[in-house]
């Protein structure tokens, strides 16, 4: 049973599929059993800093990301 997570910089509807494909390639798998939304928030795509700066937080389209 393999699980992976969608990082906050990829919590945007247009980035979900590319992020999933990247995870599958990295893990050398054809599918995941479970793909989680890491945190219920979004941040600026391409900025992988932690902690996340307040100015990098963006509105989170939970329905768009889920679909």
Q: Are 24 and 2 in contact (CB under 8 A)?
A: no
Mean pLDDT of the chain: 88
% residues pLDDT > 70 (the chain): 100
pLDDT band at 24 (very low <50, low <70, confident <90, very high): very high
Question: Is the pLDDT reported for residue 36 higher than 80?
Answer: yes
Q: Which residues pair with 36 in a beta bridge?
A: 5
Query: What's the number of domains the chain is made of?
Result: 1
Tell me the pTM.
Answer: 0.81
Question: Which residues span the domain enclosing 62?
Answer: 3-66
Supply the pLDDT for residue 61: 85
* Cα end-to-end distance, the chain, whole Å: 22
Higher pLDDT, 63 or 35: 35
């Amino acid at each position: 049973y393999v699980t992976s997570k969608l990082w906050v910089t990829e919590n945007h509807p247009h980035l979900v599929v590319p992020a999933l494909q990247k995870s599958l390639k990295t893990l050398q798998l054809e599918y995941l059993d479970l793909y989680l939304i890491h945190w219920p928030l979004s941040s600026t795509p391409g900025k992988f800093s932690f902690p996340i700066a307040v100015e990098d937080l963006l509105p989170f389209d939970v329905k768009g990301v889920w679909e």
